[in-house]
Amino acid sequence: MPKVVKELSALEVRRIVEPGTHSVGGVPGLLLQITGKGGRSWLLRARVAGRRREFGLGSFPTVSLANARAKASELREKLAEGIDPVAERQAARAALLAGERKRITFDQCAAEVVKVKQAEARNKKHAAQWENTLATYASPVLGALSVSEVELAHIVEVLRPIWETKTETATRVRQRIEAVLSWATTHGYREGPNPAEWRGNLDTVLPKPAKVKISGNHAALPIPKMGVFMRDLRQRDALAARGLEFAILTAARSGEVRGATWSEIDLDATVWTIPAERMKAGKPHRVPLSDDALAILRGLPAGEPGELVFNSSHGRQLSENAFTALLKRMGVEATAHGFRSTFRDWVAEFTATPHDVAEMALAHTIKNSAEAAYRRGDLLEKRRRLMKQWAEFCRIVPKEGEKVTPIRRHNP
């Protein structure tokens, strides 16, 4: 037990000026600590679990002698009950911090995830899509909510209005909400299962995407109309017409064509090599060029290696809407991307092309990991024969009343 000392008065305490620790009495172990520079503070010295501990009670005179004795007395009572006041204080602080962390909103978490996507994205457009879809569809419902409070009902409220009318967009919104909530869980802002997960969760509430009408699909031109369309397209002199024609003949994406440079084109080898940074899959892609595709290139003004192939009058890349506007002027209900679907349908219905050759022609990633591990080459020569057939097909203009029938030509 600490030695019982004389109980000093407030005046006597004020008169103490010597540096060190001084017992003031009233409560065993209560000390006034004075530093060499004259700073004063209260300490309670006590034994806890057989070890001497010191607990700060505040500075003097901010904490008066009477208050210091009251604090010391209360602290000793807790120690007698086996309560560690430091651990208690740390637990309270942790609980307060946890409460503050869980008040972070969905929008705040989404902003952090978007930053990550901006760092990961090969182009700014992809990161912008994350930001725009979350802001447009998720934020009005979830944005101001504490991320810890987001539940299944909230997710359904976001998705149900667009699930059957904008299914592709709704699917992406769901995936992005799931990613935001996963980020929040990982960072300690929420607990429990992710209400935006599909399997065993939303799949019991919403119909499968494949079973509902997907109005967001890219409109594609029917196969029998390709010949007439290509004839009409070739009669147009606009640069956008040449770009769209080249995109169709190579089955390439609009952005890949609009961003093509002369350094990517090897006219002698008749190959267009698109670098990894411009490909959706992040891998370089070689495109065999048919005679018709080569004719388009040779009909354009020759440019320097780094210059755009389809260079607008202002020296800039054709706009994203260039092909769409052209199709609208032609009165065609199709999108530039939709011609890739037409090409894929033609391959399936009109040729005996193996699946992997067709998928590689479209630069699709092989989803089977085992197959992808063994697929070393890019089947360039097989794809060259396929693109030659496609170009020949695109020149066929059926006579009135004549039907285009599948030729089922074998592609070895």
402 domain-assigned:
no
Q: Which helix H or strand E contains 10, and what residues bound it?
A: helix 10-14
Pair 91, 110 in one domain: no
401 domain-assigned:
no
Q: Rg of the chain over CA atoms, in angstroms?
A: 37
Pair 274, 232 in one domain: yes
Long-range contacts of 124-133 (CB under 8 A, 24+ apart): 129/172, 130/176, 133/169, 133/172, 133/173, 133/176
Residues in the chain: 412
pTM for this model (two decimals): 0.52
411 domain-assigned:
no
Q: Give me the domain span that covers residue 142.
A: 106-211
Say what the pLDDT of residue 215 is. Answer: 44
Q: Is residue 26 classed as helix, strand or coil in its secondary structure?
A: coil
Long-range contacts of 309-314 (CB under 8 A, 24+ apart): 309/260, 309/261, 309/262, 309/264, 309/265, 310/239, 310/240, 310/242, 310/243, 310/246, 310/257, 310/258, 310/260, 311/239, 312/239
Pair 158, 122 in one domain: yes
Q: Of 63, 97, 131, which marks where a domain is finished?
A: 97
d(CA 302, CA 315): 14
410 domain-assigned:
no
Q: Produce one character per residue of 89-108: b if its CB has 16 or more CB atoms within 10 Å, e if not.
A: eeeeeeeeeeeebbebbbbb
What is the percent of the chain where pLDDT is above 70? 84
d(CA 82, CA 48): 9
Say what the pLDDT of residue 306 is. Answer: 85
CATH number, residue 128: 1.10.150.130
Say what the pLDDT of residue 289 is. Answer: 97
Q: What band does 216 get if pLDDT is binned at 50, 70 and 90?
A: very low
Residue range 137-189, pLDDT digits in tens = 999 999 999 999 999 999 999 999 989 888 888 999 999 999 999 999 999 89
Binning the chain into helix, strand and coil, the percentages to the nearest 5 are: 50, 10, 40
Give me the residues paired with residue 43 across strands. 31, 56
Say what the pLDDT of residue 239 is. Answer: 93
Pair 353, 270 in one domain: yes
Between residues 404 and 71, the one the model is more confident about: 71
| In the predicted structure, residue 217 carries a pLDDT above the cut 70 | no
Residue range 284-327, pLDDT digits in tens = 999 999 999 999 999 998 788 889 999 876 778 888 889 999 99
Burial of 49 (0-12, 13-18, 19+ CB in 10 A): exposed
CATH number, residue 227: 1.10.443.10
Q: Average pLDDT in the 351-359 region?
A: 90
Say what the pLDDT of residue 410 is. Answer: 46
Terminal-residue alpha carbon distance, the chain: 97
Q: Average pLDDT in the 80-92 region?
A: 66
345 domain-assigned:
yes
Q: Structurally, how many domains does the chain consist of?
A: 3
Burial of 129 (0-12, 13-18, 19+ CB in 10 A): middle
Tokens describing residue 76: 């000793």
Pair 231, 368 in one domain: yes
Q: What band does 97 get if pLDDT is binned at 50, 70 and 90?
A: low
5 domain-assigned:
no
